[in-house]
Chain A
Amino acid sequence: MMNDKTKVTANYLDSLWKFFASVKLTVVVLLSLAVLSIIGTLIPQNQSPADYFKAFGPFLFQVLATLDIFDMYHSWWFQFLMILLVVNIIICSVERLRLTGKIIFTKTPKFNLNNYRQQKQRREFTVTGSAGSVVEAYRRYLSKSFRYCRVLEQGQGFAITAEKGRWTRIGVYGVHLSVVILLVGGLIGSLYGFEGFVNIPEGQSIDTIQLRNTGLEYRLPFSIRCDDFDVQFYASGAPKEFRSKLTILEDGKAGIQKEIIVNDPLRYKGINIFQSSYGKTNLDPHMAGAPEDIELSFRSTVSGMIYNRKAVLGQPVQIPEGMGKLVVERYEPDGQFRGMSIGPALLGTLTPAEGSPVPIVLAMNFPKFDMMRKGDVVISVDQSTAAPKTAYYTGLQITNDPGVWVVYVGFAMMIVGCMVTFFMSHQQLMVEIQPKGTRTAVLVAGKANKNKIGFQHKVNRLSEKLSMNDGRLS
């Protein structure tokens, strides 16, 4: 026997349980989430406190800051609502499984034949042929589209009970479970993952990034070097594509390399490196990389002709008039010539048609520099190459989210669950066949747990089919 005290506690627990299992709570929580989410779209989130202070003044700033409005999607009250939703989903599902689990997980479904016999939308007709032959023909026909199909004897006649799609009742539990899985995945990400960004000038490497939410520094388990950055523009001036050539450095050794573009990141050790932005650095020329297109002009001192040729680092360029070949070997941002600083320069080797190779120094800022060599050909670097090259930095977004696969499982489950819940149903059918005078009377009735109008159409079509050819179905 329970004493009064335990009874009160039991009642109390019982009503608490009912409260958390109720759809009313769901509606209240979902609507609150909808309405409260609006706030964060009206007040930009995660700006600097100074900006908020300026916008709202000291009093309102204090109030809003206390309520966590400036980071509301991570505030205790918003998270409280999400926890409430999860608790609601779990308790509601447990409760419903307790009540309807028997319907879902049974081998022998129950049919209350009288319910079908008294249904308003039932169809009735008569056919010739004995009840025995009709029932056999019908059973064969129905078992083609209904997985479960049993014939029961009913007095002089028979009742066929058929059903399919019992399992689709699980769909809605899948949808609800997927919501929980999504939130768990999000929680894993926020506890164990990070999200940060870093700008790397071309040619440099880094191993610390800045975290987006806190602004703190975070040290990566490796370094990233940006070997090259390249951006192309449309005629309108909008960027067409930007790409960074990255190398991962571990313990000072170069590891994997990849050229990343927007939408195609580099993933390494669970850390994702995304191309997200770029910018120009006002660097000194030391930082600038080698020019990409080297335009050279060759002036023959013999004929006076000027020839323009493109050169690529390390590849020979044939000089016209059989004056040999030139290989530009190196770019020197801060060239030296006989102890003098000559600024950015290209160093190479000229191999004349006859004679031994000579070293060549092309000072990019001084086109006439090579005249001093007094050779057959005067080589100068075209001004388009010599123009100070803009140096870029690449803006990388760097993230790690161990929860993302959990989230993706939730996504898949939610889509599949919704499809099952919305478009499939548990359908039951009863066809009763009783001898009636010289003929046989047939009654067709069905029920479905979803899309009842659509299923009734189906039942009507089916009974038309069954009444054709006097029940012989051929």
Chain B
Amino acid sequence: MAYNPIILSITTFIFGLAGAMYIFSWVFHREGAGRWATGVTLFAAVGNLIGILMRWYESYQLGSGYGHAPLSNIYESLVFFAFTISVIYLVVERRYQNRIIGAFAIPLAFFALAYASFGTSSKISPLIPALKSNWLIAHVMTCFVGYAAFALAFGVSIMYLLKRGNDESAATGVIGRLPAAAFLDELTHQLIMFGFLFLTAGIITGAVWANSAWGRYWGWDPKETWSLITWFIYATLLHARLMRGWSGKRIAILSLVGFSAVMFTYFGVNLLPGLHSYGAMGQ
């Protein structure tokens, strides 16, 4: 009997509650609810971490060959993704003392974990030989920290577009309470730099892993190529900021495009012809 999927599905609901509280606090301007939401998010993040550690422990209980760090399949990576989103969000909240961002960030952690819990299999399966590598752990961790930062940048860019889409001076109420556009723009940039560093590290650790498993660091397979496409998009964004006439709005749109590429790298690549099939290479 494995307990980790139970802990993690309960955590899903806690994230859902926290997200709802952040949204409530923002829409109805109740700061008290926002403070509670922070506590609930912290609680969910701890639950998420316990779920991950529990899964790690339980994999070793299943017998020889099963034990591994829980970063090897879509369920495990989504769980880690949700955890990272919540941690990065909490750091941002603490640093900038703003809880409205939570209304755009925590729902993403909720969706990630909900999809993991209810859309994918939580069965622990043993690792096939190609996945037995410490580079794999480094690769998945760095990629998902990067993806989580991009997810938050996505949320903040939506806030930016809401804020700028309305005439800023006239905007009051729900839109008016959003942080200043300049702040949101700067925060997007910070998050994207952070994400870009980790995506770069993720692509590099993936390349080093491929080189240690198959003797080639780059093979243009669709998954690799899509992570590079994502990287090109965010590199474009970092440079577009330097160009005159590229206002925050276009940058925010590029951030949405970049995050769609992240999602496609993650989920969409499996729909493409010619799958990334480890172990079957070389035939």
Interface residues of A (CB under 8 A from B): 23-24, 26-27, 30-31, 33-34, 37-38, 40-45, 73, 186, 195, 197, 234, 236, 238-242, 261-263, 265, 272, 274-277, 279, 395-399, 401, 404, 407-408, 411, 414-415, 418-419, 422-423, 451-453
Q: A23-B239, A30-B236, A33-B232 are in contact. Are A418 and B196 (CB under 8 A)?
A: yes
Q: B225 near A277 (CB under 8 angstroms)?
A: no
Q: A263 near B272 (CB under 8 angstroms)?
A: no
| Residues of B contacting A197 in the complex (Cβ-Cβ under 8 angstroms) | 282
* B260 vs chain A, min Cβ distance (A): 12
Q: Does B91 contact A (CB under 8 A)?
A: no
Residue of B nearest to A421 (CB): B193
| Residues of B contacting A239 in the complex (Cβ-Cβ under 8 angstroms) | 128-129, 279
Q: What does the 1/0 interface line of B197-229 toward A look like (CB < 8 Å)?
A: 100110010011001111111101010011011
Q: A42-B273, A395-B282, A418-B196 are in contact. Are A265 and B215 (CB under 8 A)?
A: yes
| Residues of B contacting A234 in the complex (Cβ-Cβ under 8 angstroms) | 65, 126
| Residues of A contacting B242 in the complex (Cβ-Cβ under 8 angstroms) | 23
Query: For window 25-62 of chain B, which residues contact chain A by CB distance below 8 Å?
Result: none
Which 10 pairs between the two chains have the least Cβ-Cβ distance? Answer: A276-B282, A399-B215, A34-B232, A262-B129, A44-B274, A41-B222, A422-B193, A30-B236, A272-B215, A277-B282
* B68 vs chain A, min Cβ distance (A): 12
| Residues of B contacting A397 in the complex (Cβ-Cβ under 8 angstroms) | 214-216, 281-282
| Residues of A contacting B212 in the complex (Cβ-Cβ under 8 angstroms) | 263, 265
Q: Does B280 contact A (CB under 8 A)?
A: yes
A291–B193 Cα distance when bound, in Å, is: 59
Q: Which of A277, A401, A422 contacts B281 (CB under 8 A)?
A: A277
| Residues of A contacting B232 in the complex (Cβ-Cβ under 8 angstroms) | 30-31, 33-34, 37
Q: Does B235 contact A (CB under 8 A)?
A: yes
Residue of A nearest to B243 (CB): A23
> B-side binding surface: helix, strand, loop or mixed?
helix
Q: A418 near B229 (CB under 8 angstroms)?
A: no
A239–B126 Cα distance when bound, in Å, is: 10
A316–B240 Cα distance when bound, in Å, is: 77
| Residues of B contacting A73 in the complex (Cβ-Cβ under 8 angstroms) | 220, 225
Q: B129 near A24 (CB under 8 angstroms)?
A: no
A471–B236 Cα distance when bound, in Å, is: 47
Interface residues of B (CB under 8 A from A): 65, 125-126, 128-130, 132-133, 183, 186, 190, 193-194, 196-197, 200-201, 204, 207-208, 211-218, 220, 222, 225-226, 228-229, 232-233, 235-236, 239-240, 242-243, 261, 269, 272-274, 279-283
* A32 vs chain B, min Cβ distance (A): 9
Q: List 13 A-B contacts (CB under 8 A).
A: A41-B272, A45-B220, A186-B218, A262-B132, A262-B279, A263-B132, A263-B133, A263-B212, A395-B283, A399-B215, A415-B201, A415-B204, A422-B194
| Residues of A contacting B215 in the complex (Cβ-Cβ under 8 angstroms) | 195, 265, 272, 274, 397-399, 401
A186–B216 Cα distance when bound, in Å, is: 11
Q: A397-B281, A419-B197 are in contact. Are A34 and B236 (CB under 8 A)?
A: yes
Q: A23-B239, A41-B225, A263-B213 are in contact. Are A277 and B233 (CB under 8 A)?
A: no
Q: B208 near A42 (CB under 8 angstroms)?
A: no
Q: B207 near A195 (CB under 8 angstroms)?
A: no
* A403 vs chain B, min Cβ distance (A): 10
| Residues of A contacting B125 in the complex (Cβ-Cβ under 8 angstroms) | 236, 238
Residue of A nearest to B258 (CB): A34
| Residues of B contacting A451 in the complex (Cβ-Cβ under 8 angstroms) | 190
A328–B183 Cα distance when bound, in Å, is: 81
Given contacts A23-B242, A263-B129, could you give 14 more A-B pairs where the C-beta distance is less than 8 Å? A33-B232, A34-B233, A41-B272, A234-B126, A240-B65, A240-B126, A241-B129, A261-B129, A262-B132, A263-B212, A277-B283, A423-B193, A451-B190, A452-B186
Residue of B nearest to A35 (CB): B229
